Structure 1
Amino acid sequence: MPVNGPLSAATIVAALVLAAWFFLRSALDRAPSRFDLLAMAALSALAAVLVVVAAIGLLDGTRPSDPATFAGYLVTTIAFAPAALWLAKLEPTRWGSLILGVGAVVLPVLVLRLQQIAEVTHG
């Protein structure tokens, strides 16, 4: 399944780098900048591409070990970063940067969990 590949690795690395940046900005009492919001939007787009590739990968006849849980993680993965972005826009203080950081640090966990569930059973 295409969840275990370079796209996943790129998503994880980008999310962790951005999380560190957002947490630093929050610690320095900085509100999310336009750049921060655009970076989170780019991360959201990267996660969306990963989810689409994973969903298309289901069409080749392979199935994840738990399809319902896999589908739930796909929905959560595609929705989490945009939700954090939306909440951060509503909170133009250091807490907005913290929201972005939490959103960015949760994304790698979701991707890793998708990878675990994607261990396929041929049916």
Structure 2
Amino acid sequence: MIDGLSPTLTWVAVGAAVWALVLVLINRPLSLERVDSRAYLGLLALIELGLLAQAVLGFIKLANADHDVPALSYGGYLLGSLLILPVAVFWSLAERTRWGTAVLVIGALVIPVMIVRLDQVWTRG
């Protein structure tokens, strides 16, 4: 999709999923009072900024596409990827058990899947 940005977002999201998995295993839900939780949320915010940049660049790329791209699917994946992490963070902060943190594992793992699907939609078009 976007050279450099997509693979970086993929690997940082996988790293965030591993970090959240460790938190699940040690039974430590997110708490805004702890430094490690704030650092983790900062990492998720950085991923979200990257996803926002990807969405903006993706829509620009879509407008200038020289081949047929299913615009609705492509735009849906671009916008959908922006919603995953905020919903996961909200859910995790509302659910004060280890399973709330497990939602972050799933949310972070969905990001690479969305990026792969974006690439598939772009190249298939």
Q: Normalising by the residue count of structure 2, what TM-score does the alignment of the two structures yield?
A: 0.85
Which amino acid in 2 is paired with 1:15? A
Residue 97 of structure 2 is aligned to residue 93 of structure 1:
yes
1:29 aligns to what?
Answer: 27
Residue 55 of structure 2 is aligned to residue 51 of structure 1:
yes
More displaced 10-residue stretch of structure 1: 65-74 or 4-13:
65-74
Q: Normalising by the residue count of structure 1, what TM-score does the alignment of the two structures yield?
A: 0.86
Cα distance in 2 for residues equivalent to 1:22 and 1:64: 39
Residue 116 of structure 2 is aligned to residue 118 of structure 1:
no
Aligned ranges for residues 64-79 of structure 1 at < 5 Å? 65-79=69-83
Cα distance in 2 for residues equivalent to 1:85 and 1:46: 17
1:10 aligns to what?
Answer: 8
**Root mean square deviation, CA, Å:** 1.7
Deviations 1:53-78 (A, max 9, x none): 11111222435532211111112111
Which 4+ residue blocks in structure 1 deviate beyond 4 angstroms? Answer: none
Deviations 1:24-71 (A, max 9, x none): 111110112222222222211211111111111122243553221111
Cα distance in 2 for residues equivalent to 1:64 and 1:112: 18
Deviation of 1:120 (Å): 6.4
- Distance 1:35-1:44 versus aligned 2 partners, 3 A rule: same
Q: How many residues are matched?
A: 119
Native 8 Å contact 1:12 1:108 kept in 2: yes
User: Could you tell me the percent identity over the aligned residues?
Assistant: 27
Which amino acid in 2 is paired with 1:42? L
**Unaligned 5+ residue runs, structure 2?**
31-36
**Unaligned 5+ residue runs, structure 1?**
none
